[in-house]
A and B are shown apart, each in its own frame.
Chain A
Amino acid sequence: MDLGCTPEEEDFRARLRRWLGEVLPHLPAPPAATDWPGRRAYDTAWQRMLYDAGYAGLHWPRDAGGQGATPAQHLIFLEETERAGAPYVGANFVGLLHAGPTLAAEGTAGQRARWLPPILRGEEIWCQGFSEPDAGSDLAALRTRAVRDGDAYVISGSKIWTSHAEVADWCELLVRTDPDAPRHRGISWLAMPMDAPGVTVRPLRTLAGSAEFAEVFLDEVRVPVANRVGAENDGWRVTMVTLSFERGTAFVGEVVACRRVLGALARAARANGRWDDAVLRRRLGRLSAEFTALWWLTQWNVSEAMRGPGRGGQRGGGVPGTGGSVFKLRYSHARQELYDTAAEVLGAGALDVEHAWVADRLSSLSYTIAAGTSQIQQNIVAERILGLPKGR
């Protein structure tokens, strides 16, 4: 059990810190959370800066255009960028954390050459077309149909909860290519251009007031067969690769951010007198233990991934295991408890929707739903780790 850094890792951290110190003071102020075109421009400009400095796709393999960094270095990157207050991955989220790693792991040489470099350079934005009105956490129930017509699939159906759809260039789309197969089979993974004829995007307003996700309607959209990643009807397995990335590492930087917010909450409570309330104080103390443990749990999961077989079976591939579900289950609830506690510190100030902690409180409500609800995650943990029988 070693929590220390190697000299190489310390060197990596020092160089990154120096670079962040040089560039961050010159960044413009970020756009409003609801200004998606503005955010696209801001987030992709930041991605370009990372690319030029050699930090783009840090954890991606080198043959996919990434930096081939170890998961430990990726962890250091997320820790340092968060600590320095660098921009969040933002609109590049799906490309860098879902579609990119999936293409790198499952795409052909031609597919990787076509799609990976623009993701890394911040030139193309991806969105995720997985969920449907009748297939959310029950992803295998999806019904959007793709019928083969020559060298194209003709797609009809609809997707929902599609983040960044308004500003996306590409969609990682799950479609049913064999309606007669058992529901987990007969699904294929396609890269769909968002400007294809027949694609209609209708933004959805969230309870936080923003329009960060959308409904996407597909009316006889033609997508070349060449855009299929993985074999036809093998999309479920490809998707599981994507989701293991999502659950494994997608929230790492946020844990660091939550620990920082916790310190700020304690200081705010001291300043406004709420600190004298022992119940509140104890709640803050408990959250401190929780977020520290979540950070160690991340190190545990990442170390496990580094030891385990990766893409093509080599050691250190960093494909996260089911530990990601354990992490997400606790993290999503702890985050909500953090911002509920923030509301207690704020008192009537918690009614001011423009306060950053209030906005974060609202958005934290999605954490136990998105990327698989807590109930579904618990089923995954119970069945895959504890070996309980499938049922209902």
Chain B
Amino acid sequence: MDFQLTDEQRALKDGTRELLAGRFGRDRLRAAVEDPAPDRALWRELGAAGFFALRLPEADGGVGLGLPEAVLVLEEAGRALLPGPLVACQLLAGVVDGVAAGERIVGLCDGAREPALWEHPGGCDELIFVEGEGGRRGGSTGGPAGGAGEGAQGRTGGAYRSAPDQVSCAPFASVDPLTPLARVLDLPHAEPVAVDMPRLRREAALLTAAQQLGSAVRTVEMAAGYAREREQFGAPIGSFQAVKQLCAQMLVRAEMARSAVYAAAVTERALDITGAKLLADEAAVRNARDCLQVHGGMGFTWEADVHLHLKRAWWHAERWETAGEAEELLAAGLIA
């Protein structure tokens, strides 16, 4: 047992952080708030660095690493608030041509959610739509997604690929300025994709949790950094216990999430991933809120980056497994 990063894992994580710091620093982040479309040049650079092909076998031109490594790079992406369908491209790198190299960008839409939301609809070359297990949503035979009673037809869920112009969408005003969204109304089910659906969902949840972890760790650093420097009443606010305790609670949440996310990446057990998503969602959302509180009035402004973390965390918390679903699954696991 050695539940710590290996030297290679640490190098991968540090390398990803450096790459993102160099190519997606604060100026680039703020520019992306105005234009959140994925940066194609950066995407190709990430592809060349093996970001998307991380888990493909070396024989297929991949890096041949595993889920823990994918978690580490997505943690860094979450930390940097890198916009774009990162989880989709990570999971579909071996399925859709050009994704592994960063040449093409693919989106992933969870049809089990109502509404079925597609992230970066304007930035994707293709969409993979994953139906809910209960049946077919957004289907051309079923009317608009989310119609009453739909989804209870007992059909096994499938995955379908569509070109963007084949997808019928309604506008959706995303709370996260870095993540444009569209509501999927209808799409052809002409081209099924052979993917292991339960596995895809599990891994999507875990990789989303990894981004939440990165964000939670980053907001602790932002809060502590601000608390060390900002002076009030003639002293750094970080010397006041009330502020200290907020920051300490943030760190505890982040470390709990880290343990859960990393362990789930190793065990790959469904319930471990469910627990990891629950704790990482909570860490990202609550840490962003506490970070905002530590920043005081500054934290409430558009100029501070805190709200970007909070809004992204809200979006990620709604994806793949919500808190309520996770808690029910974990409870059921106690008596299984």
Give me the interface of A with B, judged by CB distance under 8 Å.
1-6, 9, 72, 75, 262-263, 265-267, 270, 278, 281-286, 288-290, 292-294, 296-297, 299-300, 302-304, 306-307, 323, 326, 329-330, 375, 377-379, 381-383, 385-392
Contact = CB atoms under 8 A, between A and B. Distances in A.
A296 B244 contact: no
B267 A3 contact: yes
B274 A289 contact: yes
B328 A281 contact: yes
A71 B237 CA distance: 39
A286 B330 contact: yes
B4 A379 contact: no
Given A1-B6, A3-B267, A281 B331 contact: yes
A386 to B, nearest CB: 4
B334 interface: yes
B327 A326 contact: no
B331 A387 contact: no
Taking residues whose C-beta sits less than 8 angstroms from the other chain, chain B's interface range is: 35 or more
Contacts of A267: 334-335
Given A5-B1, A381-B248, A288 B256 contact: no
B326 interface: yes
Contacts of A297: 255-256, 259
B313 interface: no
A391 B333 CA distance: 45
A378 B4 contact: no
Given A292-B272, A382-B247, A284 B4 contact: no
Nearest to A382: B244
A343 to B, nearest CB: 18
Interface string B187-230: 00000000000000000000000000000000010001001100
Contact of A389 (B239, B257, B262, B328): B239
Given A4-B1, A263-B334, A388-B236, 9 more contacts: A3-B266, A288-B331, A300-B3, A306-B2, A330-B252, A388-B228, A388-B239, A391-B241, A392-B241
A289 B266 contact: no
A391 B68 contact: no
Main secondary structure of the interface of A (DSSP, over half): helix
A285 B245 contact: no
Contact of B330 (A288, A379, A381): A288
A386 B251 contact: yes
Contacts of A9: 1
Given A1-B3, A1-B6, A3-B263, A326 B252 contact: yes
Q: By CB atoms of chain A within 10 A, which of B256, B266, B279, B326 has the most?
A: B256
B315 to A, nearest CB: 21
Nearest to A289: B275
Nearest to A263: B334
Contacts of A284: 330-331, 334
Nearest to B260: A293
A1 B69 CA distance: 10
A388 B253 CA distance: 18
A270 B335 contact: yes
B249 interface: yes
Contacts of A286: 278, 327, 330
